[in-house]
Amino acid sequence: MNKKYNTLKIGVVLVLAALLNFTGESIAQNNPLPSLYSISPETVERGNQGITISLFGDNFVSTASVSWDGTTLAVNFVSASELEANVPAELLTRIDTVVVYVINPGPGGGSSENKNFIITGVEQIVNSLAPVTIRQDAENLSLVVYGSNFTENSVVRIDGNERSTMFLSSTEIHTSLLRSDIENVGSCEITVYNFGSGGVSNAVNFEVIYGSPTIISMTPDLRKVRDAGFVITINGSLFAPACVVYFDDVLLTTTFVSASQVKATIPDELVNEPKTYSVTVKNPLPGGGSSNIVSFVVVDPVPVINKIDPRRQKPGSPGFMMKLEGSGFTFLTKGLVNGSERITTFVNENLIYLSIGSADLQIVGSYPITVKDLSLSKNESKPLYLVVSDNKRKVDPPIGNVTNGFGDFDGVVSQNYPNPFNPLTEIRFALSSDAVVSLDVYNSVGQKISTLIDKIEMSAGEHAVSFDGADLSSGQYFYNITSVDLDGKISHSMNKMILIK
C-alpha cells in the first residue's frame, strides 16, 4: 500500500514539474503559423472611400496584423479564425491586384498564404487636345479634351489643379482655362480625374506661348530736342524676358525688369529734331508680336522772355547790353529788336544778353523784344517791350479794343459794367504803374474761353476792354487780370460776371 502511494506521489511531482518551472513562472510558448483561407469582399471599385475586409483562417492570434501590398493595416481581432482589417481610401485610388496576408508576431508565428484583392475600374485615356497651344493674350480660353472612358464624374486637371468641366460624351469633355493658367510660357500637363471611380488618366502636354504685350504707360513721354541720352520706363503687361523696344524703326537697348515693366535707352542722336515717335514693345517667338503704339514727343520749345533789363531808355541814349531772363534759351537763340536780329550772348537756358545799339534808341516808341530759335523749328517768343520815351507814363502799345481814362484806382482793380449783361459788357481796371497785362475769361468749370489781353505792356492809369458774349450761353463767367510791373511785382484780380439772354 505504501509503495503504491509513493509511486503516485512521484508521478504528480513530475507532472507539476512539466507544467511549472522551478522559479514559479509559466513556461513560454511559440505563436502558431497562421493560415488564410479566404477574404471578403475580394474586390472593390477604384475610388471607394474606404472598406473593411474580413479574413478567415486558423491560428490567428490577438496581436496578428494584416499586410496590404507591404502596408500594415489596422486590425480588429474577432477570433483565432477571423480578423477584420480597415482599408483607407488612399489605398483604393488605382486599378490594381493587391497581395493580402496575415502575420503572427514572434516568438514563432510567421506569414500566412497570400490572397489577391482586386481593385477594379475603367482607365480614362486622354488622346488629344484642341487647341494644343494657346497664346498668353488669347481671348478664348476654351479647351477640348478627346479620349475614352470619360464619365459625368470626369474632371480636367491642369498641372494637378481641377478646372470646371463639361461632359459631352465618353470621348469628349470641355473645360475653360483661367487667365492665371496662361501667365507663364511653357508646358503644362493636362490630365482627367474621375472622382467617382477614382484614378487619373495619362498626361498630355499643353503649350502656352508668348502673346503680344500691352503698353499702359511710358515715363518720360516728352523730351526737348538735343536732350542728352536718357532711359524710358515702360509699364504694361505680358512683356517677355527677351522682348525688345522699338523707337519708330530703331531697335533700342532693352532691359527686362518684369512681365509688367521694361526699360530702354534712347541715345542722343535719336532726339535731334522735333517730331512724334512711335514706341512699341515686341515679344519673340513662339507666338509673340508687337504691342500697341504709344507716342514719344520730342519738342523744340518756344523760348519765353519773362523779364528784360533795362526796359526803358531815353531817346538818344548810347547802346548797351540788355539782360533777358526767361526759359528755353539755347546756343542757337538769337535776340531781335523790332524783328531785326541783334548780337546775342548765350549764358544758359534761362539767361542771354542782347546788344542794343544807339540806332535803336533814336525815336520815341515801344519796340518789341523777342528771341528766336534758329534750329529747325524757328520758334519765336512773345514780345516784351523796350520803351524809348522822355515821359515813361505816356507810351502805350496799341491793343485794339482797349480804351483808357476813367476813375481813380490804386493797383489792379477790376469790375465789368453792366453786370448782368447781354451780350456786351466792359471790363475796367487800373494800373498803379507800367506793367505787362494779361486778361483771360473762364467759364464756370474753369475752362479758358477767351484771351482779351495777352501779355501786353501798358502804362499806369485806367483802362477798359469790351467783351462780347454773343456766342456764349447764359451763365456765370469769370475774368482774371494779371499784371507784372517793371520791378517784377505780380498782381492778380478776379471777378465774376453773369450773362443773361
User: How far is it, in rounded angstroms, from Cα 417 to Cα 464?
Assistant: 10
Which element (helix H / strand E) includes 10? helix 2-19
Q: Would you tell me how many other CB atoms lie within 10 Å of the CB of residue 341?
A: 12
> How many CA atoms are closer than 13 Å to the CA of 267, on its beta-carbon side?
6
Q: Could you read off the pLDDT tens digit of each residue along the chain, which spans 501 residues?
A: 444 444 445 454 444 444 444 444 445 689 999 999 999 999 998 778 899 999 999 999 999 999 999 999 989 999 999 999 999 988 987 778 999 999 999 999 999 999 999 988 778 899 999 999 999 999 999 999 999 999 999 999 999 999 999 999 999 999 999 999 999 999 999 999 988 666 789 999 999 999 999 999 999 998 877 777 899 999 999 999 999 999 999 999 999 999 999 999 998 778 877 789 999 999 999 999 999 999 998 877 788 999 999 988 999 999 999 999 998 888 888 999 999 999 999 999 899 999 999 999 999 888 899 998 776 557 788 888 888 887 544 334 444 444 444 444 345 566 788 999 999 999 988 888 888 889 999 998 889 999 999 888 888 888 889 999 999 999 999 999 988 876 667 888 889 999 998
Taking alpha carbons only, the member of 242, 243, 185 closest to residue 214 is 243
The answer to whether the CB of 397 falls within 8 A of the CB of 444 is no
The answer to whether the CB of 193 falls within 8 A of the CB of 199 is yes
The answer to whether the CB of 492 falls within 8 A of the CB of 480 is yes
- Residue ranges and CATH numbers for the domains of the chain are 35-120 (2.60.40.10), 125-209 (2.60.40.10), 222-299 (2.60.40.10), 304-388 (2.60.40.10), 402-499 (2.60.40.2550)
User: First and final CA of the chain: distance in angstroms?
Assistant: 157
* Contact residues for 81 (Cβ-Cβ < 8 A; gap 6+): 56, 57, 58, 60
| Three-state DSSP class for residue 333 | strand
At residue 269, φ and ψ (nearest 5 deg) are -70, -10
* Contact residues for 487 (Cβ-Cβ < 8 A; gap 6+): none
Cell 493674350, residue located: 137
